[in-house]
Amino acid sequence: ETPVWAPGPAQAAALLEEAADLLVLHRDFAAAVERCEAGCDSLGPGPGHDRCLFLTSFAEVKCSLCVVGIQALAEMNRWREVLSWVLQYYHVPEHLPPKVLELCILLYSKVREPQVMLEVGSSWLRAHANQSLPEFGSLLELYLAQVLLPLGRFEGAEELVRGCAMVNSEQQLEFLGTICESRCRWTQREETCSAAEEQQDSATETVLGVLSQKLLPMLTLLHRALRSMSNHFYLLPYKKMLLATFLLYLVVVKLDPASPTSLPFIYKLVQLFRQAWAALLPPIPRPPI
């Protein structure tokens, strides 16, 4: 039996058709969002879960308007506004239609911001009214795969699966097995990263140790030369002092210019050279006035 449309839903359905044309045919995303907003406003708040024929049509039109609006906002790269935009028409996460929740999870996962859907998805899945919906199982699986597991929320994922009374034992075992596999991959990845960092630190220390052993005799010679020259440097002209400093600097820096691992040590060596220069050289006496 064909439902009888009230003025509000009839107007919303017409606006939905216009919004779809603007989105798909004309690629006018801003105008499409405006039509969706006008359609949702014409419907009013409405109930969260509708059962009679008229209210079901009401909910379907509202859901379709939000789906078109989400796609239009994403096309304009305004994805940060999507969740707040949707919630202004459904008010609480538990009342979101399954299709709208699915689009939001996929959108924020694609832009690598899955944490945005943490509380919203958890609230929706824990609501008893939603657990009886036929889409519940697929949305639970999507929420685990795209939100909880990528964020490393393994304990929360296990608690959520065990707390869903509508999930049978076979599905529960399947979900728990997926969580366990993801946890193992996460642990292996962390161990691999830690081992790589330790190897890099060990290699750096080895290189610095070898360079220190090679440079120690030269540093000793430089130290002795600075001591023997310290009593006579104040007699040199200013330009000769700069030339001597530059030559000593070249001796240090040009030891291994092709090795990038020696750069931190060379920097420390230059700092040490500056400190030794300041400590060993006496101040240049000023001529009497």
pLDDT in tens, 61-95: 999 999 999 999 999 999 999 999 999 999 999 99
The pLDDT assigned to 146 comes to: 96
Structure tokens given for 237: 């002209």
Residue range 235-288, pLDDT digits in tens: 445 445 555 555 555 555 544 444 444 455 455 555 655 665 555 455 555 555
CA distance 130 to 135: 9
The pLDDT assigned to 261 comes to: 46
Q: Predicted confidence band at 49 (pLDDT cuts at 50, 70, 90)?
A: very low
The pLDDT assigned to 116 comes to: 96
The pLDDT assigned to 48 comes to: 43
Q: Predicted confidence band at 51 (pLDDT cuts at 50, 70, 90)?
A: very low
**pLDDT of residue 186 exceeding 70:** yes
pTM of the model: 0.64
